[in-house]
Amino acid sequence: MRTRLKWLLPFLGALTVAAHARMLPTDTDLKAAYCMGISIAMGPTVEGIAKQLESFPADQYGDARKTIAEIRETVAEKRMNHKRLQLFLLPRLDALDTTGIEIALNRGK
């Protein structure tokens, strides 16, 4: 009987760890997933604006120079926010139950 228990205990311990491996996402995780969905949905628009600004000669239009600089800053900020959300959320996905994350991501889109 003891021999069976010695063999069974590590197996039960592994099952217990596997059962607790997936944690529920926190409110912060869900907000990050929602914002990531928005960021993904805005991605093509932001990249389109960035592409247009690359070919736009800002020095020809004196009044628009400030506005163009602000738009470029906004595009850079949106890219940075998307990268920050990725750096926060992607490493955590292995430990989280992804059902809530998927729902939040889809609602953001």
Alpha-helical runs (H) found in the chain: 2-19, 27-54, 64-89, 98-108
Residue pair 48/71 in contact by the 8 Å Cβ criterion: no
Q: What is the pLDDT along the chain (109 residues), one digit of tens a residue?
A: 455 445 544 544 544 444 455 899 999 999 999 999 999 999 899 888 888 877 776 666 666 777 778 888 998 999 999 999 999 999 998 899 889 999 999 998 8
Every domain of the chain and the residues it spans: 23-108
- Whether this prediction's pTM lies above 0.85 is answered by no
Q: How many residues are given for the chain?
A: 109
